[in-house]
Amino acid sequence: YRIEKKHAWGLFYRGATPQDFHSKYGLGVLVSGTVFYSLVWGYVLTETRIEWNLSPVKRVIEKNW
């Protein structure tokens, strides 16, 4: 009886469920993924010299009627 009582108190004190992966590492994974994503896209946008052609200025050619 005494052992069961101690065991029940231990579960209450520590929490009934053990920590899973998400509760242990979730925030770290989220932050590191966000940093990695930002760094990769920062590099792509600034260093690869991709022509995005976002503006139609001086690209529109008039057609004769």
- pLDDT tens figures, 6-57: 556 565 555 555 678 888 899 999 999 999 999 999 998 888 877 777 777 7
Matching residue, tokens 């690209």: 59
| pLDDT at residue 1, rounded to an integer | 46
Cα–Cα nearest to 31, from 41, 20, 39: 39
- Whether 31 is in a domain gets the answer yes
3-state secondary structure of 18: coil
**pTM of the predicted model, to two decimals?**
0.50
- Whether 43 is in a domain gets the answer yes
The two structure tokens encoding residue 44: 């792509």
| pLDDT at residue 52, rounded to an integer | 72
Domain that holds residue 29: 20-60
Answer positive or negative: Cα dihedral of 14, 15, 20, 22: negative
Answer positive or negative: Cα dihedral of 35, 37, 31, 26: negative
Q: What angle is formed at CA 39 by the lines to CA 37 and CA 45, rounded to 5 degrees? A: 100
The CATH number of whichever domain residue 47 belongs to comes to 4.10.51.10
